[in-house]
């Protein structure tokens, strides 16, 4: 398919306004309620298939040839020692030899092998993949997580204590996630390590503080707070009391429980893998199970300029275990149909291996062609979209641009592409670019989108 400019079917979305809700939480000694300006509400979703997204962000850019687009026929200078791809449970689909567990789950996901944007810079490529826009303009657009937080968050009726956009565990750091939407729509980054006990979530779990100690501190606070006792009907005092109650509900109530992995069976935790990534996958499942609409697992370590194959052998078994168990666990709980799982990074790696010193078998940045995986939330499994050439160097068929992938996710979430985004300057900015924006597109991923 020849690239064309991005042009979704035009519709006139029904836009309404709602009063803003005072639902922002921020990390300090507790989580505090704050007032916010109202935002334009999104159009009522039409036939939304997905309620949540779990994004596995492969920070640094994973090697497409070593993972989901193997090229054993290209020879040693391209595939190196990873020359034996394995068959999956879907006839005709092979993936990297270090992914035996994911090979058994291929009926649950589809592989995009023809993603392209041509940008080889971490920051700029991350921005393209996360927003669908080109970098360099004066306007910084929000990423997918921030847009979903706006569309499915507090202004859309979300009432959870945990913010609607969560990152496990560190901010992505390559771009401003919220863009012009502002700090309210930045992700809540948990910090900590879910493989440790307790999982010390910033602002929720304080290392060294037991629940009883927290309760004792609260009782002392009430004893010292003579102003609240003297002015129980004062609106500001009432608001402060509500904020305190929400904060302690987060610390001692349901908010904290979602991060308490001791509530899970040890056998399940073992299946995910007792690593930071594996247990992050388990936390992500618990979050979407409780209605959080967008969760990113920020999985670093894929910038393999040096000793690429040593890194693959060290990290791919961890990824294989956590990712495959997440798919199976979501499926067994009836959550996969309503949860999109999106795996990918900012670009791929150079197909030809750099054997010379100092790279010693490394791979560089490569934005010409790379891979992504989509599962659940109305996306069909067991399929491959597009293809790279025999050496994984160029798109051979069906190019897919980041805006195509993002637009497909929005469509499954029931987010209208023509909805205006609130911005400080009141510009006519929309969820997705239009024909006049000059963003290349080959269209939505209708091949894997359920009718």
Q: Are 300 and 62 in contact (CB under 8 A)?
A: no
Q: Residue 248 is encoded by which pair of tokens?
A: 């302690």
pTM, entire model: 0.84
Give φ, ψ of 285 to 5 degrees: -60, -40
pLDDT at 172: 82
Task: List the chain pLDDT tens, one digit each, 451 residues.
Answer: 444 444 443 333 332 323 222 233 333 323 332 333 334 445 445 579 999 999 999 999 999 999 999 999 999 999 999 999 999 999 999 999 999 999 999 999 999 999 999 999 999 999 999 999 999 888 999 999 999 999 999 989 998 889 999 999 998 877 889 999 999 999 999 999 999 988 888 866 555 555 555 555 545 455 555 655 666 666 665 555 554 455 445 555 667 789 999 999 999 999 999 999 999 999 999 999 999 999 999 999 999 999 999 999 999 999 999 999 999 999 999 999 999 999 999 999 999 999 999 999 999 999 999 999 999 999 999 999 999 999 999 999 999 999 999 999 999 999 999 999 999 889 999 999 988 899 999 999 999 998 7
| Residue 27 neighbours by CB under 8 Å, 6+ apart | 188, 202, 203, 204
pLDDT at 396: 98
Q: How far apart are CA 144 and CA 171, in angstroms?
A: 14
pLDDT at 246: 52
Q: How far apart are CA 69 and CA 65, in angstroms?
A: 5
pLDDT at 17: 27
pLDDT at 240: 52
Q: What is the DSSP letter of 135?
A: S
Nearest by Cα to 288 from 317, 321, 326: 326
In a 13 Å sphere around the CA of 108, the CA atoms on its Cβ side amount to 24
Q: Residue 43 is encoded by which pair of tokens?
A: 């159009």
pLDDT at 257: 86
| Residue 417 neighbours by CB under 8 Å, 6+ apart | 8, 407, 410, 411, 430, 431, 432
Q: Which helix (H) or strand (E) holds 365?
A: strand 365-366
pLDDT at 176: 87
339 beta partners: 52
Whole-number CA gyration radius for the chain: 23
pLDDT at 206: 56
pLDDT at 161: 85
Nearest by Cα to 109 from 448, 386, 382: 382
Q: Are 101 and 371 in contact (CB under 8 A)?
A: no
């Amino acid at each position: 398919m020849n690239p064309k400019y991005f042009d979704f079917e035009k519709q006139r979305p029904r836009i309404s306004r709602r009063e803003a809700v005072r639902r922002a939480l921020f990390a300090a000694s507790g989580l505090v309620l704050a007032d916010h300006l109202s935002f334009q509400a999104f159009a009522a979703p039409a036939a939304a298939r997905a309620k949540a997204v779990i994004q596995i962000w492969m920070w640094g850019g994973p090697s497409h040839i070593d993972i989901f687009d193997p090229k054993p026929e290209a020879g040693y200078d391209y595939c190196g020692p990873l020359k034996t791809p394995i068959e999956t449970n879907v006839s005709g689909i092979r993936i990297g030899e270090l992914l035996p567990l994911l090979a058994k789950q291929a009926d649950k996901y589809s592989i995009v092998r023809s993603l392209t944007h041509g940008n080889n810079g971490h920051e700029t490529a991350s921005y393209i993949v996360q927003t669908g826009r080109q970098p360099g303009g004066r306007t910084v657009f929000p990423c997918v997580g921030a847009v979903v937080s706006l569309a499915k968050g507090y202004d859309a009726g979300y009432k959870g204590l945990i913010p609607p956009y969560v990152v496990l565990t560190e901010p992505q750091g390559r771009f401003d996630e919220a863009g012009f939407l502002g700090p309210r729509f930045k992700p809540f980054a948990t910090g900590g390590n879910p493989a440790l006990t307790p999982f010390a979530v910033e602002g929720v779990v304080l290392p060294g503080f037991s629940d009883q100690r927290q309760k004792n501190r609260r009782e002392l606070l009430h004893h010292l707070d003579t102003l609240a006792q003297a002015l129980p009907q004062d609106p500001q005092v009432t608001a402060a009391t509500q904020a305190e109650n929400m904060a302690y509900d987060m610390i001692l109530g349901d908010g904290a429980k979602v991060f308490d992995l001791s509530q899970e069976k040890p056998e399940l935790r073992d299946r995910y893998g007792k690593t930071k990534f594996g247990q992050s996958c388990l936390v992500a499942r618990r979050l979407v199970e409780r209605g959080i609409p967008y969760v990113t697992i920020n999985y670093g370590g894929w910038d393999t300029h040096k000793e690429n194959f040593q890194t693959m052998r060290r990290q791919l078994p961890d990824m294989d275990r956590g990712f495959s168990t997440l798919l199976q666990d979501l499926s067994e709980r009836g959550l996969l149909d309503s949860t999109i799982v999106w795996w990918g990074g900012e670009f791929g790696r150079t197909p030809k291996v750099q054997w010379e010193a100092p790279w010693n078998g490394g791979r560089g940045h490569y934005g010409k062609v790379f891979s992504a995986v989509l599962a659940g939330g109305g996306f069909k499994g067991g399929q491959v979209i597009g293809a790279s050439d025999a050496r994984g160097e160029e798109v051979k068929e069906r190019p897919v641009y980041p805006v195509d992938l993002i637009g497909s996710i929005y469509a499954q979430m029931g987010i209208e592409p023509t909805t205006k985004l609130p911005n400080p300057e009141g510009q006519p900015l929309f969820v997705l670019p239009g024909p006049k924006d000059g963003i290349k597109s080959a269209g939505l991923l209708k091949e894997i989108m359920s009718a």
